Amino acid sequence: LTPLMRWTEEGIAPQEIMAGKRATAAADLPPMTEKPDAQTQFHGVQKVSQPYADAAPAVIATRPVYPFPAIARYNGRGDVN
């Protein structure tokens, strides 16, 4: 996000941005029923309040993102992720 903020606020476009994919964790969703109850339907899934944030899932893959028309391509060397 920082490179995009710098571009927007200072007019300095990034040469590249690294995008990443994180491992997904199991969602805390209630089991599907025939008809959702009003609490879930109008207020979403409520989580127990915690004084700290959950740990971020590990990054499992990264890719550079370049300005158009440049496209990142795998060159056959190194880890594909």
- Taking only the tens place, the pLDDT of each residue in 3-33 is 889 989 999 988 888 888 888 755 556 666 6
Residue 40 β-bridge partners: none
Give SS3 for 60.
strand
Contact by Cβ (8 Å): 16, 66: yes
pTM above 0.85, yes or no: no
- Please state, in angstroms and as integers, the Cα–Cα distance from residue 76 to each residue in 60, 66, 73, 80, 81, following that order: 18, 19, 9, 8, 12
Digit-coded pLDDT (tens) for 53-75: 777 788 888 888 888 888 878 88
Contact 23, 60 (CB under 8 A): yes
